[in-house]
């Protein structure tokens, strides 16, 4: 899926869905991002105790669910009773919004084949279960829609495994890769995800097959400046507002 042929609004990534208006990583947030016109969506993946992939950012349940506990210690049989209202942000507005499994998200991915989904394999899940287990669990749910999916992570080891298995991959990094980084050269990811504040000065040079995605941006002027510097994609929690602003400018 090319990025350079589209306008700036179509090069925005809905970060955890439409997270500015709906509880992040829920099916509702993803659907609302799609309805707003997002061409790219990013979500996060953790695993339950019995290794079921769920669409969830934190290892702990408190922030999103308002209850104590750790997602990695929770059996999937408990998922139907969990809700993700993000109470500190939205109060009681979304008290019925369930915690989504990756299998449920895969149905949505399949229904929107023109959209590219970035699926982030969280370091906490990898630390708990290992690279192979996490990749196997995620791949089992997404194999039928792999053409619409890019697997991304801070953990390069899992990306090496994913790339060897034929997946498109994106490396999420804390800093700009050094030219001397041989592991980076071997990985040669399809995407580099980076906080825009960690960009180096001067010209941004990546391998010709690696696209640059920057986060987290909520200002149209900043997004345009970053596109001008060479960003292919911009992540934002405010997908609808940012799309409208860039379309009108």
- Mean pLDDT over the full length of the chain: 96
Angle, helices 239-248 vs 27-35, to 10°: value is 10
Show the DSSP H helices in the chain as ranges.
Answer: 27-35, 62-65, 87-90, 102-111, 123-129, 131-142, 156-164, 182-187, 220-229, 239-248
Residue 86 region, left (φ>0) first, then alpha (ψ -120 to 50), else beta? Answer: left
pLDDT in tens, 72-89: 999 999 999 999 999 999
Mean pLDDT over 140-158 rounds to 98
pLDDT in tens, 212-222: 999 999 999 99
- Residue extents of the structural domains in the chain: 8-59+99-248
Among 227, 207, 25, CA closest to 119: 25
Cα–Cα distance between 120 and 245 in angstroms, integer? 27
Lowest mean pLDDT among 41-45, 82-86, 146-150, 208-212: 208-212
Range 8-59+99-248: architecture per CATH = Alpha-Beta Barrel (3.20)
As given in the structure block, the two tokens for residue 138 are 């995620």
Neighbours of 154 (CB within 10 A): 16
pLDDT band, residue 2 (cuts 50/70/90): very low
pLDDT band, residue 203 (cuts 50/70/90): confident
pLDDT band, residue 208 (cuts 50/70/90): confident
**C-beta of residue 139 within 8 angstroms of C-beta of residue 119:** no
Cα–Cα distance between 62 and 10 in angstroms, integer? 34
pLDDT band, residue 3 (cuts 50/70/90): very low
**C-beta of residue 56 within 8 angstroms of C-beta of residue 46:** yes
DSSP 8-state code for residue 198? G
pLDDT band, residue 4 (cuts 50/70/90): very low
pLDDT of 6 reads 63
Mean pLDDT over 31-44 rounds to 99
pLDDT above 70: percentage of residues in the chain: 98
pLDDT in tens, 161-175: 999 999 999 999 999
Among 110, 182, 169, CA closest to 141: 110
Mean pLDDT over 121-135 rounds to 99
3-class DSSP state of 46: strand
pLDDT band, residue 231 (cuts 50/70/90): very high
């Amino acid at each position: 899926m090319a990025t350079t042929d589209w306008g700036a609004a179509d090069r925005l990534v809905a970060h955890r869905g439409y997270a500015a208006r709906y509880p992040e990583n829920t099916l509702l947030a993803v659907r609302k991002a799609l309805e707003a016109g997002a061409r790219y969506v990013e979500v996060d993946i953790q695993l339950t105790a019995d290794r079921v992939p769920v669409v969830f950012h934190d290892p702990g349940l408190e922030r999103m669910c308002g209850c104590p506990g750790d997602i990695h210690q929770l059996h999937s049989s408990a998922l139907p009773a969990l809700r993700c209202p993000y109470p500190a942000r939205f109060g009681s507005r979304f008290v019925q919004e369930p915690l989504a499994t990756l299998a449920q998200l895969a149905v949505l991915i399949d229904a929107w084949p023109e959209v590219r989904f970035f699926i982030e394999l969280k370091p906490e899940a990898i630390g708990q279960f290992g690279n192979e287990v996490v990749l196997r669990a995620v791949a089992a749910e997404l194999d039928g829609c792999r053409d619409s999916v890019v697997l991304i992570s801070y953990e390069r080891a899992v990306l090496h495994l994913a790339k060897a298995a034929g997946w498109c991959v994106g490396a999420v990094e804390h800093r700009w890769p050094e030219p001397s980084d041989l592991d980076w050269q071997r990985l040669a990811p399809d995407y580099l995800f980076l906080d825009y504040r960690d960009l180096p000065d001067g010209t941004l040079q990546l391998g010709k097959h690696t696209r640059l995605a920057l986060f987290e941006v909520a200002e149209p002027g900043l997004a345009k400046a970053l596109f001008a510097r060479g960003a292919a994609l911009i992540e934002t929690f405010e997908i609808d507002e940012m799309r409208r602003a860039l379309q009108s400018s």
